[in-house]
Structure 1
């Protein structure tokens, strides 16, 4: 068990399996999931902002956040109660082992991965309440749960999701054909983020070698050149709209160096970013 206390944050973590987080005051952090997450609220408020779409979770609420999801999470007290929640972190290793035990003949056919990255589950569902309320004694008392119990609770969490919507089979087991995450769809949502090729491969359910091979099937460009081209296209559209200054646009679309951005922008569009602004 790991216990951390920092700036009003108290976290209790058992192995790599689930994490309880307590916040006495409102806090905000930019969070990018390296694992699928099932979060359950005991108290307080969790505000989830996805590209200006805001979802708020309160006591008894439960939600699934897919691993390729970059959101702004704000944790705060609510109605006099501190923030308190448990996050089940579904690692690829755990899901591969779980998938290996499934009867493949019972898997739903022609299931497509939902485009919704945040999924709020029905409130007060018996299996959800039972799962998370059974965990509270371990966090309140500090008693160390066994690895067998941890794996059992994680498996319960997976079944909660699979019993919610069959499309979640495709989200949870996206490392297995035919449920790999669509590469171009992922990059379209994340081209502005500072991700390595290894991270992109992982987020799309592939090894690095498989990612490079699959990318050649969808683009004549290398992944790096595709990302640069997409950033330039986004920057060009914003510059032509005249609603932001060039510096802000440069960093918003993912470039880190203004002079480098100006140089490659001029090479592609024939004029500097400043000269392309429409008024």
Structure 2
């Protein structure tokens, strides 16, 4: 059977039958999600998280995430439902409910809500729409999104700070950020945004620090990490190309051979 995704406005239904699948993403908006079946492991700068059926999590916007998902041992696919809270909706909700401007959020970027019966009930109400996505009109999605916000604020008043801090990423140490995040397969524009810079400023400051363009430096760092993992950790090329930030094995093999002069399969111990 084939994998599929259904996106109705800001509500996502995802189903994967692949034996194992990896994806990397930049989360531009807050999201609330539940795993229905299968298993996955999420990696962020705060650590890794195992998600199994019933796991519910609230994830903060402007995050880099690696995700490895796979079906269960019984052959059930990896399935999840996610609701995304865009900034326009949150600002409208804040204005309608007299929510003041919040202080900069300082808490964790991933919050576990597994076992909460109210949030579980909310997602139960969304399950039937997977078979009838046309019923999830823009108005209905708006109502369900506001319902989720109401429930979150009832559960924990501190979620107000999590959800309604509208500040964009502040300007941070570019060199330290890139050394920690080059393996995430996202655009240079996303790296610029996350360091609190315009794209032109990011490229200019990057060149001063690293004496190279972001594109060339990122690829070199990924290839060096791949070489280390293959030569020293005895991993196979097929095991490392996603880990270091390449989209597919053929592109990784081509870039590796061009850089080192030999294929990744020819790396000696």
Q: Would you call these one fold, judging by a TM-score over 0.5?
A: yes
- Which residue among 68, 71, 75 is the counterpart of 2:67? 71
- Change in 2 beyond 3 A, CA 1:165/1:213: farther
**Equivalent in the alignment of 2:41:** 48
- Change in 2 beyond 3 A, CA 1:238/1:110: same
C-alpha displacement of 1:253: 4.6
SS of alignment partner, residue 91 of structure 2 = helix
The 1-side partners of 2:43 and 2:24 are apart by: 11
CA root-mean-square deviation: 4.7
TM-score when scaled to structure 1?
A: 0.61
Between the two structures, name the one with larger relative contact order (CA 8 Å, sep ≥ 6). 2
The 2-side partners of 1:83 and 1:247 are apart by: 25
The CA deviation string for residues 17-72 of structure 1, in whole angstroms up to 9 with x for no partner, is 2122345x56422122344442223x42332253894513213x312345420221
Where does the alignment leave 5 or more consecutive residues of structure 2 unmatched? 246-251, 262-266
**Equivalent in the alignment of 1:213:** 201
The 1-side partners of 2:114 and 2:236 are apart by: 44
User: What is the number of residues matched between the two proteins?
Assistant: 245
C-alpha displacement of 1:166: 4.4
The 2-side partners of 1:249 and 1:12 are apart by: 29
The 2-side partners of 1:85 and 1:249 are apart by: 25
- Change in 2 beyond 3 A, CA 1:102/1:86: same
C-alpha displacement of 1:88: 1.8
**Equivalent in the alignment of 2:11:** 18
The 2-side partners of 1:185 and 1:158 are apart by: 35
The CA deviation string for residues 71-100 of structure 1, in whole angstroms up to 9 with x for no partner, is 21223376x97654312244xxx3244236
The 2-side partners of 1:258 and 1:76 are apart by: 34
Q: Does 1:134 align with 2:125?
A: yes
The CA deviation string for residues 120-164 of structure 1, in whole angstroms up to 9 with x for no partner, is 2241242x1342122234335556133122022223445556665
The CA deviation string for residues 182-222 of structure 1, in whole angstroms up to 9 with x for no partner, is 755653443134433234345x286xx72442575686345
Where does the alignment leave 5 or more consecutive residues of structure 1 unmatched? 1-6, 264-273
The 2-side partners of 1:262 and 1:20 are apart by: 42
The 2-side partners of 1:161 and 1:181 are apart by: 30
**Equivalent in the alignment of 1:146:** 137
TM-score when scaled to structure 2?
A: 0.63
